[in-house]
Amino acid sequence: MNEYLGRVNIVTNYLNFINGEWVSASSGEKHEHFNPANPSESIGFTEVSTVGDVEKAIEAAKAASAGWKAMSSVNRGEILRKAADILEERADDIAKTATQEMGKRFIETKGEALRGASILRYYAQEGMRKKGEVLPSAANGTTLLAVRVPVGVVAAITPWNFPIAIPIWKMAPALVFGNPVVWKPGQETGITATKVAKVFEDAGLPAGVLNLVLGRGSVIGDVLTTHKDVAAVTFTGSNAVGQNIAKLATATGKKFQLELGGKNPAVVLEDANLDLAARLVVDGAMKQTGQRCTATSRAYVEASIYDEFVEKVIEYADKITIGDGLQDGITMGPVASKKQFDTVTGYVQKGKDEGAELLYGGSTLDINGGYYIEPTIFGNATHEMSIVNEEIFGPVVALMKVADYDEALQKANDTIYGLSAAVFTDSLEKAFHFMENSEVGMVQINGETGGAEPQAPFGGIKSSGQGPKEQGQSAVEFFTTNKTVTINPYTK
């Protein structure tokens, strides 16, 4: 750990990164991190920042803004390319830390780290793309330009469930387009965040361009959204926090980008490959222990194949092995925290109390006192039930019987959320109809509801997202603004 932080006597205490220096929070308070697979195991301490610490970080970002903006976007991209190489080299260490902090399997956290490297390389190339366009002018001899320019200081507020990839897919475009960043990660994964920040420092990012503040969102979140020197806020997390950010950002005239919750449906039609559909519904629901905004949380199955589909889903669920995510052969780890454990088990009990049929799982497991919950499958659920309406963020999926495709589509759309949806069918007509009429930002045809690629826009509609989409070419819409320039060569 000393090797990465570059400071003597820092072994289990991880610091804020402000203006190119690793510094303690002014509060003097530390947050201790415990392994959710074995809650008696302490893995380190992070700082608990104050509003004053965040103000210093914003001040540093503001001071670095002019120099970073003036640097060629090609050279900014080269720093991201170096960061990708370093992240790849440190993928095992960073992934192990993430697994110890939030329980996700090592194979998943390492995949996330390597995905982060791919995102950095993608946006490194963005530094070589055009920054605007030449438009025709009605005035003879006049040149009319639309030029993309940075928005200014960006506040990035990121969650604990993807502690490597989500921060990178926000910070990489912000940085390559010329914006300094103040980053507040989920407190649960603050140690992982310090190691990601160290990657950017070692890649040669100038002081103040990236600033990391650790601590409680309830204490330091609002200043990131209201400070006069913050131009834009990008947030991934809960709907309640997101709506508060939207309110505060609107009141202070800031751009905001919100990626919020999901209640993602899968529609399984009678002409589908049932083995594929069952496997991908289970994968979609149980990967990362269901702690994904794109997780499959409800499935609508045509009545003629419902019983057969249930059998296959149970068969695939029964193949899941549960344990410490650092162990080989484990296919599902614990949930991230005691708070998450209580939330998910509460929803499992609600499912039982409200009359859903428990088809599989539903129990907790005592493994080293860890926060383990069995894969849980409910059947014959209805839209009045909490497990169908509310985001659970755990390994729980509800199956429902429908008469036909029309009923499945209507019920799939019957939600406040609109992030991702999947349909399993061999009918090209129904696949295209679903693509056009599913009320979500991302559609999978014969694929699981999760998954994203750096070059494609990511985000939802309805209550699942507000503002420009993330990743791909869409990122330029949020992290830059258009400036119109008219050049008249005639000075006499």
Of 1, 2, 6, 64, residue with least CA distance to 202: 6
Distance (Å, whole) CA 177 – CA 150: 6
> pTM of whole model > 0.85?
yes
d(CA 342, CA 216): 20
Please state which CATH class domain 264-445 belongs to. Answer: alpha beta
- Alpha-carbon distance of 43 to 370, in angstroms, equals 15
What does DSSP say about strands 30-35 and 38-47: parallel, antiparallel, or unpaired? antiparallel
Contacts of 436 (CB under 8 A, 6+ apart): none
State residue 91 phi and psi, 5-degree precision.
Answer: -55, -40
Specify which residues 235 forms β-bridges with: 157, 258
CATH for 2-259+458-484 is 3.40.605.10
Q: Beta strand 264-268 with 296-302: parallel, antiparallel or unpaired?
A: parallel
Enumerate the domain spans of the chain.
2-259+458-484, 264-445
Q: Which of 126, 259, 270, 374 is catalytic?
A: 259
Cβ atoms of 462 and 416 within 8 Å: the answer is: yes
β-partners of residue 38 are: 35
Using CA atoms, how far apart are residues 486 and 16, in angstroms rounded to an integer? 44
Is 259 among the catalytic positions? yes
Q: List the pLDDT tens digit at each of the 492 positions of the chain.
A: 333 333 223 347 899 999 999 999 999 999 999 999 999 999 999 999 999 999 999 999 999 999 999 999 999 999 999 999 999 999 999 999 999 999 999 999 999 999 999 999 999 999 999 889 999 999 988 999 999 999 999 999 999 999 999 999 999 999 999 999 999 999 999 999 999 999 999 999 999 999 999 999 999 999 999 999 999 999 999 999 999 999 999 999 999 999 999 999 999 999 999 999 999 999 999 999 999 999 999 999 999 999 999 999 999 999 999 999 999 999 999 999 999 999 999 999 999 999 999 999 999 999 999 999 999 999 999 999 999 999 999 999 999 999 999 999 999 999 999 999 999 999 999 999 999 999 999 999 999 998 889 999 999 999 999 999 999 999 999 999 999 999 998 766
Rounded distance, CA 190 to CA 133, Å?
Answer: 41
The residues near 454 (Cβ < 8 Å, ≥ 6 apart) are: 115, 118, 119, 122, 123, 169, 471, 472
